[in-house]
Structure 1
Amino acid sequence: MFRIRFSIFLSVFVAMVGLMIIAPVMPPLIRELGLNELHSGIIISLGSIAMAVMAPFWGRLSDRKGRKAVIVIGFLGMFVSYVLFTATMYAGLSQLIGGGLLVGLLIVARGLIGMFIPAVPSAAQAYMADVTDEKGRAAGMALIGAANGMGLVLGPAIAGAFALIGLIWPLYIGALLPIVAVGVVCFLIPAHKPVIQEKPPKVNPFQKGILLYLFAGLATMLSIVTLQVVGGFYFQDQLSLTTKETARMISLGLMITGVAMIITQGMQMKNPKWQPKSLILFGAVLIIIALSLFLFFINLIVYDVAFFLFGVGTGLMMPGFMAGASLAVSREQQGGVAGLVASVQGISAVIAPILSTGLYQLNKYLPFAVVALIVLLMGMTLLFVKSRTEVNENRIIDS
């Protein structure tokens, strides 16, 4: 069991690092290529759309072909995609190609990365559902949440370290990691029979039990992405910082958030008493408090406290909505629901940058205020609407 859990953790971690390692070097690389911010936005956004569209497909495929097979396919696809993306960047920097051909190849390569990355978390989450019972489901999903949190923190850190050698070096690492992960997965994860041999029953995202937890997932990821996207602008304006001071402040703040997420999910794995609804509701309260501190105070120490509370809150909500969605469906639908949960990340990555920056142009307080309102609405909905998952939670507690 340990080797399976370790392999699931490593798989999700590598996939998240593969997603995050591009972000810090994309702006300077785009400018080195002679392109502009619009090109960068298009390249990243189309990759996120590909993630949102393909995640449910990979989840359903894992039901039919097996979790291990889909994870391996995902990593091999990531490797090929990263090689193409890196080769295109190298050719552009060497002035071997340029113009529309360069932009087109970068869009295709980034789109392929977005297509294959969700194969890993979709199949990994479904695998975790396979190997945990209802009592341990939230703790199992906390392990996946911890892997996401570590990737969120270490992905940009790895990129920053290798960027000291050269801007393109993080892309080399992005291509290498999936191959290493394939070796680990093939060696450690045992052969796993498909859950069903025929076409799996479709998961309807609008059925009550699932929709509630997808809404919770969307609120969580919108909060995280919004903080990443507009946080630098907001804190620079609030504290009158220079660009270098802002970079240091936001880097430290996001690191505090990431560490808080990892600690929270580690505690949840060791002491899995809380069930999905409780995790989400308490996490939502902490996120709202953190956003309120951002909105109503102008103090660096208060902001660091808010970053920590934000990390604890998201660290509770991530395993909460993943476990809740898993418990809301049958065994034959675990891949399908895992794909829907993974697609939430892609959808958030498309919506949040556009929404948050647009709101920021209207008023700098609006992005955090709107996100807090969404989290509050989600919490109130979850509190007053009884779902199939809540019935399962009551049965777990009674047993």
Structure 2
Amino acid sequence: MPLVGLPWLGRLHDTRKPQAPRAPQRLKITDIRIRLPWLSSFTLFSVIMMANSSLGFYVIDRLDVAAHQAAAVVGYALGSAGLGLILMQTIVSRLPHVAPRQWLRWGALAGAAGFASILLVGPAQPMAVCLSYSVAALGMGAAFPAVAALASNAVSASEQGASAGAMSAAQGLSMVAAPLLGTALYDLLPPATFALISILLLVLFGATWRGTRGHVAA
């Protein structure tokens, strides 16, 4: 029976009005709504790139670790950082009532403390770098999810893709600029790289307080 209706199918007309294709949403990185998340993402990825590109040289030059042993020290430090990231992101996922701005604020402060403490490590305790990296990683583990949440919450549903693209641009730009800056600073003065990292994170910590005065803290 369905075959009987086949000759009439070609005579049917679609009564729906054709819709013009919509241009994809675009979001400039200068958009004030994503200014804090974008600058935060750029800062966080930059400090990670600068720290990791300088750590090996710092261990050899400032902590007097032999070149063949420096790889082990750096490996333990990065492993400690990985554990710190996993631990903190697990904690963040279990505390959804804490606002993203709070995680970013205190994560940046903890990261600044961790990276700054590297400057206090002496040649007699090179493995203390692992503790410094663990503290820094706890801060980064709190800050990274917060940045993603802030960026997503700042825009409408139709702009989520554009927001993600803008945040990816921050990551890409940091991967190009940060290692160059970190290496140049290290050539001038080895401690300068980790000092700058701490300063940048402290600036980010201060930036999270903007817009909260007179209101309940986010």
TM-score range, shorter chain: 0.7 to 0.9
Corresponding residue number in structure 2 for 1:358: 184
Of the candidates 310, 313, 326, which is equivalent to residue 136 of structure 2? Answer: 310
Aligned 8 A contact 2:28 2:166 in 1:
no
Deviation (angstroms), 1:279: 0.7
Corresponding residue number in structure 1 for 2:90: 266
Corresponding residue number in structure 2 for 1:236: 60
In the alignment, the residues of structure 2 paired with residue 238 and residue 273 of structure 1 have an alpha-carbon distance, to the nearest angstrom, of: 43
SS at match of 2:65: coil
Aligned 8 A contact 1:356 1:367 in 2:
yes
In the alignment, the residues of structure 2 paired with residue 258 and residue 351 of structure 1 have an alpha-carbon distance, to the nearest angstrom, of: 24
SS at match of 1:383: coil
1:330 pairs with 2:156: yes
In the alignment, the residues of structure 1 paired with residue 127 and residue 192 of structure 2 have an alpha-carbon distance, to the nearest angstrom, of: 22
Corresponding residue number in structure 2 for 1:371: 197
In the alignment, the residues of structure 2 paired with residue 307 and residue 370 of structure 1 have an alpha-carbon distance, to the nearest angstrom, of: 16
In the alignment, the residues of structure 2 paired with residue 268 and residue 217 of structure 1 have an alpha-carbon distance, to the nearest angstrom, of: 17
Aligned 8 A contact 1:200 1:332 in 2:
no
Moved beyond 4 Å, runs of 4+ = none
Q: How many residues align?
A: 195
In the alignment, the residues of structure 1 paired with residue 23 and residue 190 of structure 2 have an alpha-carbon distance, to the nearest angstrom, of: 49
SS at match of 2:27: coil
Corresponding residue number in structure 1 for 2:25: 201
The structure with higher relative contact order (CA 8 Å, sep 6+) is 2
Read off the aligned partner of 2:97 and give its amino acid letter: K
Stretches of structure 2 lacking an aligned partner (at least 5 in a row): 1-20
In the alignment, the residues of structure 2 paired with residue 278 and residue 364 of structure 1 have an alpha-carbon distance, to the nearest angstrom, of: 32
Q: How does 1:137-152 map to 2 (within 5 A)?
A: none
In the alignment, the residues of structure 2 paired with residue 241 and residue 214 of structure 1 have an alpha-carbon distance, to the nearest angstrom, of: 38
Of the candidates 118, 143, 147, which is equivalent to residue 321 of structure 1? Answer: 147
| TM-score, structure 2 as length reference | 0.83
1:278 pairs with 2:81: no
Stretches of structure 1 lacking an aligned partner (at least 5 in a row): 1-196, 395-399
Deviation (angstroms), 1:286: 0.7
In the alignment, the residues of structure 2 paired with residue 310 and residue 382 of structure 1 have an alpha-carbon distance, to the nearest angstrom, of: 18
CA radius of gyration, larger in: 2
Corresponding residue number in structure 1 for 2:73: 249
In the alignment, the residues of structure 1 paired with residue 170 and residue 79 of structure 2 have an alpha-carbon distance, to the nearest angstrom, of: 23
Q: How does 1:43-58 map to 2 (within 5 A)?
A: none
In the alignment, the residues of structure 2 paired with residue 253 and residue 331 of structure 1 have an alpha-carbon distance, to the nearest angstrom, of: 40
In the alignment, the residues of structure 2 paired with residue 314 and residue 219 of structure 1 have an alpha-carbon distance, to the nearest angstrom, of: 11
Which structure is higher in helix share?
A: 1
Corresponding residue number in structure 2 for 1:139: none
Deviation (angstroms), 1:269: 1.6
Residues 288-319 of structure 1: per-residue CA shift (max 9 Å, x gap): 11111111231334322111111111111110
SS at match of 2:155: coil
SS at match of 1:241: coil
In the alignment, the residues of structure 1 paired with residue 98 and residue 53 of structure 2 have an alpha-carbon distance, to the nearest angstrom, of: 31
1:294 pairs with 2:115: no
In the alignment, the residues of structure 1 paired with residue 40 and residue 113 of structure 2 have an alpha-carbon distance, to the nearest angstrom, of: 17
Aligned 8 A contact 1:293 1:302 in 2:
no
1:215 pairs with 2:39: yes
| TM-score, structure 1 as length reference | 0.47
Read off the aligned partner of 2:178 and give its amino acid letter: A
Aligned 8 A contact 2:73 2:127 in 1:
no
Q: How does 1:16-165 map to 2 (within 5 A)?
A: none
